[in-house]
Amino acid sequence: MYQEIKHRIVGAAPAGAADRDSAADAVREMFTAIAPRYDLLNHVLSFNIDRWWWWRTARRFDAILQRPETRVLDLCCGTGDMSFALQRRALRWRNGSRVAQILGADFSHAMLQRAAQKTAEKGSGANLRWIEADALRLPFPDGHFNLVTSAFGFRNLADYDAGLREIARVLAPGGECGILDFGEPGGLIGQGYRIYFKKVLPAIGTLISGVRGPYAYLPASVERFPAPGEMLERMRQAGFREVSWTAYTFGVAGLYRGVK
């Protein structure tokens, strides 16, 4: 598997994209188009299970979040739901006035605007900030963060290996990475899931958002994403150890973890 992976660049490939830059541009345009209805659609299309996935992921990193000096980067943060889940866990471990600092980063300005609006509505931005940044060219020094997460955004990078290397670069030695993303369950559950994911979900998403492209792209992007075994090997090659994958909801989603 090592030799096969070593020479194969894999990343998001929206229809019409000819190279890495055009793929990134197409992804940015899609998410900008659906930003106004993004949260509603996430909850409707996942039957609200997405809230549990974020909570469960954030809880897995309690040991890091309870340290007040911790710096956290939530990559491809979208409208911020993973960032808010991390913030809620961090605040549980408040040490006096000190609390882990969380930074949400995304390259879609429209998504970040929605995240900032939600922060204002919640009135809970004391340890949470937003920055517009490309996940493949992060504006941070080496070893800056203790934890880097990404929830349902890593899959949209134009080059997964480059994304993993960039995460490893900005993590401090011993820092952890957590990538939450969709998977493809097997068996009878998988058969029913694929019918919903490829037929029903795109139709509902298009109807509610008024935009077809992103919800036709979604199932194709999940099919293109590496299977757990391959993804874990790519993480090892990027410099992570103790890599693992934990299935959520029969494998509909799952959390990849690794230590730098």
d(CA 77, CA 26): 17
Helix, strand, or coil here: 226? coil
* DSSP per residue, 46-104: TTTHHHHHHHHHHHTTHHHHTSTT-EEEEET-TTSHHHHHHHHHHHHT-BTTB--EEEE
Residues 158-169 have a mean pLDDT of 97
Confidence (pLDDT) at 193? 87
The burial of 123, by beta-carbon neighbours within 10 Å (0-12 exposed, 13-18 middle, 19 or more buried), is given as exposed
CB distance 37 to 208 below 8 Å: yes
DSSP annotation of 227 reads P
This prediction has a pTM of: 0.91
Asked if residue 207 has pLDDT above 70, the reply is yes
Asked if residue 1 has pLDDT above 60, the reply is no
pLDDT: which is higher, 139 or 92? 139
Over its C-alpha atoms, the chain yields an Rg (Å, rounded) of 17
Asked if residue 7 has pLDDT above 50, the reply is no
Confidence (pLDDT) at 95? 67
Confidence of residue 175 (pLDDT cuts 50, 70, 90): very high
Confidence (pLDDT) at 172? 98
Q: Smallest Cα–Cα separation from 179: which of 114, 228, 249?
A: 228
Strand partners, 181: 254
Confidence of residue 39 (pLDDT cuts 50, 70, 90): confident
Confidence (pLDDT) at 8? 56
Q: Which CATH architecture has domain 2-259?
A: 3-Layer(aba) Sandwich (3.40)
d(CA 125, CA 128): 5
Domain extents in the chain:
2-259
Asked if residue 53 has pLDDT above 70, the reply is yes
d(CA 104, CA 196): 31
Per-residue pLDDT of 9-38, as tens digits, reads: 588 776 767 688 888 888 898 888 888 888
Longest Cα–Cα distance of the chain, Å, equals 52
How does strand 101-106 pair with strand 145-151? unpaired
What percent of the chain clears pLDDT 70, i.e. is strictly above it?
A: 94
149's enclosing H/E stretch is: strand 145-151
